[in-house]
Each structure stands twice: as structure tokens, then as C-alpha cells.
């Protein structure tokens, strides 16, 4: 057990324990807390340890089985008016010589052990993605709140402006009402954003078991670039080789194939070596202790079991067919998701660049609308709409950057290459408050 424990999370824990030596921002700290406290990872670890027991159990069926037993019988003869006790004990050893069921079970246990390891590896990668996505959700909610607060402040100034203009008779009461309605709506948006931000922190608390109240933002100079190569073929090949869910489905086929062989082995003969040694004493027959030993080579051949074995074979064969279909479905899912994520990464990089340009265009449009309002060629509704469009463009830009990062990590999980180093690399791009 001690050696087995040393193998748990070999790279993941090692990296996490070494990281505190460097100056780390919030994301790395949260990840280390998640490693210690995330219940989903703890459950995966327990399942991994349970799966490691399959191999010694499978091997045990091939090893000698040693049993000891004894008996004490008290007899009473009414005819002879005599009581006596019989005592006996025996030690036996049984060693399988030819047992295809036990052999196939042992081979199956190897696959189950490998499956448990892969499942744990997948859980570790999924923890990285869940940590990053939960962190990015907070950043997105923070961005929404900052935008809502800025818009509320701007509309408050606009409302003050139109009220002053109305008091001197420069504009109509309808302009004041439009400005008031826009401001009231901004207040609602800000309240909703505050609630959404509080909710986003709950996901971090679920991961870490600790209350989180602040995170570091993503730096503006974080590079958003298209992924290369742009062609899907090399990425598909990499995903089909490395995707852990696809590997698990392939192991599922292997396990079902072994189950079919185990079921078929119910028709096979068995040969085993037996050795027995024991003592008996029968007081009633006035016999002293008598030792006895025996050695035998036992052969058994199943002839008919009421059709149960044949039914089990058919059942296992259908289970194998189901596993093959599941594997094919997973193969297609990997193909679809890899292409989709690759396409999303390409378009999101372009979208971020376009949204940044959109902010500049909206700023120019707002200035032009304000100038028109000041000279009387535009009304306050035009100004309010231009302001709303600007703040929406700023939020869309921030969200597009965050979504690109999330998609990139999801793409790496799809390839089976996601590692703590990816999280730590992102951590370096966070700006300490």
C-alpha cells in the first residue's frame, strides 16, 4: 500500500507541491486547494485505489488455495448407555493446473487496473479544466459587473445633464424620461451582475472548500492568436491517439471481450492438484488418533448446466457488441468535438480582434452622436443607444477573450494533453491586484 500511494497523482501532486516555491497568483493557489479538497477528485482517487485491487484478486485465482478445518461430534448411545466424542481436523491445498476461467479472469483484472488508472488520469485533467473554467466564470462575471457599474455611472451623468437642460428649457420632458428609464435599467443590470458574481464564487468554494472573495484579472496583453496548424487532420490524429475517454472506451471493449471468453470457458474442462492431511479420533469406536494424507489430480468436465452457460455466453457476446458501439460513438464524438473546438479557436481569435476594433468604432460613434446632440441634430435617445452599444461592445470583447481561453483548455483536454503546466502558464498572465 505504501508503494502504491507513492504512485498516486505522480506528476500532478509533485508539480502542485513544488509550485509554492515560486510566486503564484490566485489561479495556482486555487488549484492547489482544489487538489486537497475537491470531492470529485477524492472520489476518483478512491475508485483508482479500489481498481488496483482487481489485479491481486485475479492473480489469486491462479495461486494455491490452502484451507484448514475441524469438527467435534458428541454422540450418545441409549442402548449401551455410553457417550463419546469424535474429533477431526484437516489441512488441504488446491492448486489449479488448467483453468481457463481463472486465467481469463486474471487477464481481465490487468485491463481493469489499467482502466482505473486512466479514469484517474482523466479526473485529474478534468479538475484542471473545472478549476480554470470556474476561475474564468468569475472573471467574466467581474467584467459584467464592471461594465454595468460604468454604464450606471455614465447614465447617471447623462441623466443629470438632461435634467439641467430641461430646467432651462433646452429639451423636452420626454428626453428626461428616456434618460431616467435607461438609468433605471442600468441599475437593474448592475444588481443582476452583483448576484451573478456572487454565484460564480460559489463554484470556486465548491472546488476548494474555502470562501473566495477576490481573483486576479487576466492581463490585457494576453496573446489571443489562431492555433496552428489550421488543418484538422494532425489534430484529429493526436486526439484519436491521446483522448482519454476514447482510450477508456477501447478498454471497455477489451474487458467485454474478456467477459465473453470467461463465459465461454464455462464449457471447458478443469484440472487441479489437491493435497490433504489430517487427524481423526473416534472415541465411540474406541479408536486412537489416526493421521491420513492424500494427493490427487482432479479432472472435471461440465456436460450440462441447464442452458445457463450458453445463455451467459450469448449475454457476454451482446455486451461485447454494446461496448463496440459505445467505442464507435466515442470515436465519432472525439472527431466531432476536435473539429468543432479547432474551428471555435480559429474564429474566436478573429472575433477578439474584431471586437476590439468594434470598441473603437463605438467610441467614435458615441462622440459623433454627442456632438450631434449638443448642436440639436440628434436626440437623447440616440445618445443613450450609442452609450449602450459601447458598453455592450466592451463586455463582448472581455467575454470573447475569456471564452477563447476556456476553449483552448477544452481543446487540450480533448487531445489528452492538458496538464498542470498549462494552468501555471495561464497563471503567469494574471495581473496581481
Each residue's pLDDT tens digit, 198-242: 999 999 999 999 988 889 999 999 999 989 999 999 999 999 999
Model pLDDT, residue 291: 77
Least trusted range by pLDDT, from 84-93, 239-248, 316-325: 84-93
Cβ contacts of residue 235 below 8 Å, gap of 6+?
A: 229, 338, 342, 415
Whether pLDDT at 106 is above 90: yes
Closest CA to 371 of 391, 386, 389, 393: 386
Cα(137)–Cα(200) distance, integer angstroms: 6
CA dihedral sign of residues 168, 170, 175, 181: negative
Q: Where are the alpha helices (DSSP H) in 416-429?
A: 420-427
- pTM (2 d.p.): 0.85
Each residue's pLDDT tens digit, 421-432: 999 999 999 987
Mean pLDDT of the chain: 88
Each residue's pLDDT tens digit, 5-49: 444 444 444 444 443 333 334 899 999 999 999 999 999 999 999
Model pLDDT, residue 357: 94
Determine contact, residues 290/279, Cβ cutoff 8 Å.
yes
Amino acid at each position: 500500500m505504501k508503494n502504491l500511494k507513492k504512485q498516486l497523482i505522480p506528476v500532478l501532486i509533485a508539480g502542485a507541491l513544488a509550485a509554492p516555491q515560486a510566486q503564484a497568483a490566485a489561479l495556482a493557489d486555487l488549484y492547489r486547494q482544489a487538489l486537497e479538497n475537491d470531492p470529485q477528485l477524492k472520489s476518483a482517487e478512491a475508485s483508482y485505489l479500489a481498481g488496483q485491487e482487481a489485479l491481486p484478486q485475479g492473480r489469486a485465482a491462479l495461486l494455491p488455495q490452502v484451507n484448514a478445518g475441524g469438527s467435534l461430534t458428541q454422540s450418545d448411545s441409549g442402548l449401551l448407555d455410553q457417550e463419546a466424542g469424535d474429533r477431526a481436523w484437516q489441512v488441504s491445498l488446491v492448486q489449479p493446473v488448467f483453468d481457463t476461467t481463472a486465467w481469463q479472469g486474471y487477464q481481465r483484472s490487468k485491463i481493469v487496473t489499467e482502466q482505473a488508472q486512466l479514469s484517474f488520469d482523466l479526473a485529474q485533467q478534468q479538475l484542471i479544466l473545472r478549476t480554470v473554467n470556474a476561475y474564468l466564470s468569475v472573471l467574466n462575471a467581474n467584467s459584467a459587473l464592471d461594465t454595468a457599474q460604468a454604464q450606471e455611472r455614465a447614465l447617471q451623468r447623462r441623466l443629470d445633464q438632461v435634467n439641467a437642460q430641461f430646467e432651462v428649457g433646452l429639451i423636452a420632458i420626454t428626453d428626461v424620461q428616456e434618460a431616467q428609464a435607461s438609468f433605471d435599467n442600468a441599475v437593474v443590470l448592475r444588481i443582476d451582475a452583483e448576484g451573478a458574481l456572487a454565484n460564480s464564487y460559489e463554484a470556486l468554494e465548491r472546488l476548494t472548500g474555502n470562501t473566495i472573495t477576490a481573483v486576479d484579472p487576466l492581463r490585457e496583453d494576453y496573446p489571443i492568436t489562431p492555433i496552428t496548424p489550421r488543418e484538422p487532420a494532425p489534430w484529429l490524429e493526436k486526439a484519436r491517439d491521446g483522448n482519454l475517454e476514447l482510450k477508456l472506451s477501447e478498454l471497455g471493449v477489451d474487458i467485454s471481450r474478456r467477459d465473453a471468453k470467461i463465459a465461454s470457458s464455462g464449457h471447458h474442462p478443469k484440472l487441479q492438484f489437491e493435497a490433504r492431511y489430517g487427524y481423526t479420533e473416534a472415541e465411540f469406536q474406541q479408536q486412537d488418533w489416526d493421521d491420513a494424507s492424500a494427493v490427487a489430480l482432479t479432472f472435471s468436465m461440465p456436460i450440462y448446466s441447464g442452458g445457463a452457460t450458453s445463455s451467459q455466453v450469448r449475454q457476454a457476446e451482446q455486451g461485447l457488441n454494446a461496448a463496440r458501439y459505445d467505442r464507435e460513438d466515442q470515436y465519432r464524438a472525439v472527431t466531432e468535438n476536435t473539429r468543432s473546438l479547432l474551428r471555435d479557436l480559429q474564429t474566436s481569435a478573429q472575433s477578439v480582434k474584431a471586437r476590439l476594433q468594434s470598441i473603437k468604432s463605438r467610441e467614435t460613434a458615441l462622440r459623433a452622436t454627442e456632438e450631434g446632440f449638443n448642436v440639436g441634430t440628434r436626440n437623447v435617445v440616440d445618445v443613450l443607444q450609442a452609450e449602450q452599444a459601447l458598453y455592450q461592445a466592451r463586455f463582448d470583447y472581455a467575454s470573447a477573450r475569456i471564452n477563447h481561453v476556456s476553449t483552448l483548455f477544452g481543446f487540450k483536454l480533448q487531445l489528452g494533453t492538458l496538464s498542470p503546466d498549462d494552468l501555471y502558464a495561464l497563471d503567469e498572465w494574471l495581473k496581481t491586484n
